[in-house]
């Protein structure tokens, strides 16, 4: 289905029949991605006396409980409530769900024992920017990301001044294929999170960070429209299925 989209006075044509899903499915086994030292999610049938919520066990329906942590196990979108002492939820603050986005790919630089995304790397990818969302794909990119155990890996992270640049460039929605924009073990500093939300001085309540995405290599860098739809959780973060749509015409 073709549709005309207006953005900042320009008209764009996109095809809703060809979505590009950049989320990672949640599984109930150790093939699920994991982070923050938690075990894999569990998807198990409800057991209540003689009742087992599984058709193959004699039930009329499959009826599962699901245990997971959005930050550790799933593509998730978070708001400033992730770091604020006040209770803020993604459901409260994200009120629109369709944005123009730029997809960029960057290989992080080695600094000591760390891999980092620097301000100069980010700046080179933001020329002529007219989008509200930025999607960062880490290079090298490989299918194993969809089942990786990230705990104790010291994953690549965004340097503080690079995130300030992203914020000052007008990006309200930032997406990345890592478990966090910050260093795994940073003594609770959370410099990139705080820089993005401008917390606590000038807090951007309507801005979001989405982590643990996976962007297949077949999706080329460039401009897209992004549908960002977190599940309706009254929580600082919720599982999310971000979907890109290629721009056909401008």
Q: What is the pLDDT of residue 60?
A: 97
CA–centroid distance for 67 within its chain: 20
- Model confidence at 173: pLDDT above 80: yes
Q: Quick check: is 44 in a domain?
A: no
Domain region containing 228? 2-25+70-249
Q: Taking 90 as the threshold, does the pLDDT of residue 1 lie above it?
A: no
Q: How many residues does the chain have?
A: 250
- Band (184; pLDDT cuts 50, 70, 90): very high
Domain count, the chain: 1
Strand positions, DSSP E, the chain: 2-7, 10-15, 20-21, 42-45, 47-48, 51-52, 64-67, 76-78, 98-106, 109-111, 114-117, 133-138, 157-158, 173-176, 208-211, 222-227, 237-239, 243-249
Asked whether residue 41 is domain-assigned, the answer is no
What is the model's pTM?
0.97
Residue 54 is predicted with a pLDDT of: 98
Average pLDDT for 154-171 = 98
Q: Are 13 and 6 in contact (CB under 8 A)?
A: no
Residue 174 lies in a domain: yes
pLDDT-derived band of residue 8, with 50, 70 and 90 as boundaries?
confident
* Arithmetic mean of pLDDT, 56-62: 97
Does any domain span residue 48? no
**Residue 81's domain is classified under what CATH number?**
3.50.30.50
User: In the structure encoding, which two tokens stand for residue 9, read together?
Assistant: 């006075």
| The predicted structure's pLDDT at residue 29 | 97
């Amino acid at each position: 289905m073709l549709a005309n989209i207006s953005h900042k006075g320009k008209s764009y044509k996109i095809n809703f029949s060809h979505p590009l899903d950049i989320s990672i499915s949640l599984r109930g086994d150790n093939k699920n991605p994991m982070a923050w030292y938690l075990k894999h999610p569990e998807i198990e049938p409800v057991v209540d006396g003689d009742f087992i919520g599984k058709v193959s066990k004699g039930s009329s329906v499959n009826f599962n409980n699901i245990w997971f942590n959005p930050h550790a196990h799933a593509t998730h979108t978070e708001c400033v409530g992730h770091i604020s002492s006040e209770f803020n939820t993604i459901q409260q603050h994200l009120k629109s769900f369709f944005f123009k986005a730029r997809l960029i790919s960057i290989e992080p630089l080695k600094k000591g024992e760390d891999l980092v995304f620097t301000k100069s790397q980010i700046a080179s990818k933001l020329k002529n920017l007219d989008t509200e969302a930025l999607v960062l794909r880490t290079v090298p990119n490989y299918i194993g990301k969809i089942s990786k155990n990230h705990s104790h890996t010291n994953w690549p992270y965004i340097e503080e001044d690079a995130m300030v640049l992203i914020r000052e460039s007008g990006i309200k929605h930032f997406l990345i294929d890592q478990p966090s924009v910050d260093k795994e073990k940073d003594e609770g500093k959370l410099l990139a999170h705080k820089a993005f939300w401008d917390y606590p001085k000038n807090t951007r309540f309507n801005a979001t960070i989405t982590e643990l995405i996976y962007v297949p290599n077949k999706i080329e860098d460039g401009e897209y429209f992004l549908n960002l739809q977190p599940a309706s959780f009254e929580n600082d973060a919720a599982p999310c299925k971000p979907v890109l749509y290629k721009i056909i015409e401008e």
